Amino acid sequence: METFKLAVEKREQGKKSVKAVRNNGFVPVEIYGKNLESNISGAVERKELIKGLHTPQGKNVIFSLEYEGKSYLAIAHELQIHPVKDNIIHVDFMTVSEDKEITIVVPVTKQGRSKGEIAGGKIFQVVKEVKVACKPADVPAEIVVDVTNNEIGDRIKLSTLPYPQGVRPVFTQDAPVIVINKGRGGE
């Protein structure tokens, strides 16, 4: 399992402390999880955090958080983005265990040009991300759907996506992800 190391510095609670952290190029973070005695309030270097989020795994990267001599495996559970400046202002990390499944949202991308499109149809990607359950080592960066053999009228549903080994879908309704319809003026 590939992880991204991130050093976490201790920080004080309160608005003044958070403002000082941000002004010094850091992002305030909260670390929580079942295997912690109590939540950890800390700060990570903004540049390093962004580097970690720009790995091939994207926001689903597994972080190895180094805090006061201990290491915690965690995922970025929630990212808070500034509404105007569009930068990360806070991160909630949730600790994970290597041997227990986690539920996570993964992007879906389509690949290729379908036979239906070539025949004049239109392709629509209805769902952009899917919820999956897997162990941290098996978290996929994305689920790629090859549409080259699909005809007009085909529907690719959640249950038929090409999930990697060790990854299973989590859904209540087997909704269509990609739909190939007739184009305008089609018979």
Distance CA 146, CA 122 (A): 16
Structural domain boundaries, residue 162: 103-181
Say whether both 89 and 116 belong to one domain.
no
On whether the CB atoms of residues 73 and 64 are closer than 8 A, the answer is yes
Say whether both 88 and 7 belong to one domain.
yes
- Which one of 81, 98, 115 terminates a domain? 98
pLDDT(184) > 80: no
Percent of the chain with pLDDT over 70: 97
Q: How far apart are the first and last CA of the chain?
A: 51
Distance CA 130, CA 99 (A): 22
> Is-above-0.85 flag for pTM?
no
Q: Where are the beta strands (DSSP E) in the chain?
A: 3-7, 9-10, 26-32, 40-45, 62-67, 70-81, 88-95, 102-111, 122-125, 129-134, 143-146, 155-157, 168-169, 176-181
Say whether both 164 and 120 belong to one domain.
yes
Which tokens in the block code for residue 45? 């270097």
Count: domains in the chain:
2
Give me the pLDDT at residue 187, please.
52
Say whether both 39 and 122 belong to one domain.
no
| Phi then psi dihedrals of residue 57, to 5 deg | -75, -15
Does residue 110 fall inside a structural domain? yes
Say whether both 94 and 66 belong to one domain.
yes
Confidence band for 1, pLDDT divided at 50, 70 and 90:
low
Give me the pLDDT at residue 154, please.
92
Say whether both 88 and 146 belong to one domain.
no
Say whether both 43 and 68 belong to one domain.
yes
Amino acid at residue number 70: K
| Tens of pLDDT, residues 61-105 | 899 999 988 899 999 888 888 889 888 889 999 999 888 999 999
Say whether both 90 and 152 belong to one domain.
no
- Which one of 98, 113, 132 terminates a domain? 98
| Number of neighbouring beta carbons within 10 Å of residue 96 | 23
What pairing do the DSSP bridges indicate for beta strands 102-111 and 143-146? parallel
Mean of the per-residue pLDDT values of the chain: 88
Distance CA 46, CA 38 (A): 24
